[in-house]
Amino acid sequence: VKYLEFISEVIIKVIAEKHAADFGADAQAAM
């Protein structure tokens, strides 16, 4: 389970970096 959670976090970070302009604000609002 921890392994899957780690992968999920990495994927989210990668997506956030690729779409920082569009996704960054939404990610910060969600957190």
CA atoms within 13 A on the CB side of 29: 5
pLDDT, position 19: 73
Could you please report the per-residue DSSP string of 1-31? -HHHHHHHHHHHHHHHHHTHHHHHHHHHHH-
Angle 4-31-7 from CA coordinates, rounded to 5°:
15
pLDDT, position 8: 93
How confident is the model over 1-31, as pLDDT tens digits?
Answer: 789 999 999 998 888 787 766 665 666 676 6
Report the predicted TM-score, pTM, of the whole model to 2 decimal places.
0.48
pLDDT, position 5: 93
Find out whether 16 and 23 touch, Cβ atoms under 8 Å.
yes
